Amino acid sequence: MVCEARGMDLEVSPALTIPAAELSWRFSRSSGPGGQHVNTSDSRVELSWNIDDSTALSEGQRLILATRLGQRLITGTITVTASERRSQLRNREIALAKLRSLVAEGLAPEGPRRRATRPTRGSKRRRLEAKSQRAATKQLRRRPSAE
pLDDT single digits (tens) 11-23: 888 888 888 888 8
Is there a domain that residue 117 lies in?
no
pLDDT of residue 4: 43
Is there a domain that residue 113 lies in?
no
Is there a domain that residue 2 lies in?
no
Q: What is the pLDDT of residues 83-128, one digit of tens each?
A: 888 788 898 899 999 999 998 888 888 889 999 999 999 999 999 9
Q: In total, how many domains does the chain have? A: 1
Residue 3 binned pLDDT confidence (cut-offs 50, 70, 90):
very low
Alpha-carbon distance of 53 to 108, in angstroms, equals 21
pLDDT of residue 5: 47
76: number of Cβ within 10 Å? 14
- Domain of 35, CATH number, reads 3.30.160.20
Please tell me the pTM assigned to this model: 0.66
Domain boundaries, position 66: 10-107
Is there a domain that residue 135 lies in?
no
pLDDT at 55 over 50: yes
Alpha-carbon distance of 133 to 34, in angstroms, equals 61
SS3 of the chain: the string is: CCCCCCCCCEEEECCEEECHHHEEEEEECCCCCCHHHHHCCCCEEEEEEECCCCCCCCHHHHHHHHHHCCCCCECCEEEEEECCCCCHHHHHHHHHHHHHHHHHHHHCCCCCCCCCCCCCHHHHHHHHHHHHHHHHHHHHHCCCCCC
